Amino acid sequence: METGFITIFWYLVVAGLTVPLMLLVGALLRPRQRNVGRSGAAYECGEDPVGSPWVKFNIRFYLVAIVFIIFDVEIAALFPVATLYKKAVESGSAGLVFAEIFAFVGLLLLGLMYCWVRGDLDWVKGIAQARPVK
């Protein structure tokens, strides 16, 4: 394990302690006040909130997250290969490595194109057909 990770650990600890520290300072600093006569309801520009705080199911959020994970795994697999590319260029086997990278990314790029053409990447699906021309 590299010693740099010790530094990273301390950075994360210090950053993580900053928030409770600030909240603590705030708690010590602020005047005591009793919650008199206010409802503590959620803020909706002065209106009373209507209905439960549930949003109707939108699958597009979930779809974005799935597509993100797919591309993220692809990029994660691409990083170590990319670090070797410079060495491959110097040793002359760049063409082979490029072909491998191209095959790897190209297939997924085809998938992206397919989704694009079929309209799956549109945030608001079928808006062109749904609304008549005004």
Partner 1 sequence: MSAGLKLVLLGAQALTVVSAILVAFHPNILYASVSLLATFAGVAVLFVYAGADFLAGVQVVVYVGGVTILILFAVMLTQWLYEMRLRDVGVKLLMPCILGVLFFSSLFKVLGGLAAWVLARPPEGLEKFAALPKTEPIGEALLGAYLLPFEAVTVLLLGALVGAVWLARPK
Partner 2 sequence: MGANSAAFAQSLQTWIGAGPLWLWALVSAAAVIFLLALPFGGLATYAERKISADFQDRIGPNRVGPWGLFQIFADLVKMLAKEDFIPKGADRFLFNLAPALVVIGACGAFAVLPLGRQLIGADVNIGILYLFAITTVIAPGLLLGSWGSQNKWSLLGGMRAAAQIVSYEIPVALSILPVVLISGTLQVGLIVDQQGWSWASSAAGTPHFWNLFHNPFCFLSAFLLFVGGLAETNRIPFDLPEAESELVSGFNTEFSGIRFGLYALGEFCDVFVMSAMVTALYLGGWQIPFITLEQFLFPIPSGLIALIQFTVFLLKTLFLVFVVMWLRWTLPRLRVDQLMGLCWKGLVPLALFCVFGTAVWMWVFGGRSIAQLIAGFGG
Question: Per-residue string for binding with partner 1, 56-85, x by CB under 8 A?
Answer: -xxxxxxx-xxxxxx-xxx-xx-xxxxxx-
- Segment 63 to 122, residues that bind partner 2, using CB under 8 A: 64-65, 67-68, 71-72, 75, 78-79, 82-87, 89-90, 94-95, 98, 101-102, 105, 109, 112, 116, 121-122
DSSP state of 83: H
Nearest-angstrom CA–CA distance, 44 and 96: 59
Contact pattern from residue 16 through residue 35 relative to partner 1, giving x for each residue in contact according to CB under 8 A and a dash for the rest: --------------------
Q: Are 108 and 74 in contact (CB under 8 A)?
A: yes
1-16 b/e (C-beta count within 10 Å ≥ 16 → b): eeeeeeeeeeeeeeee
DSSP 84: T
Residues that bind partner 1 (CB under 8 A): 1-2, 5-6, 9, 54-55, 57-63, 65-70, 72-74, 76-77, 79-84, 97, 100, 103-105, 107-108, 110-112, 114-115, 118, 120, 125-126
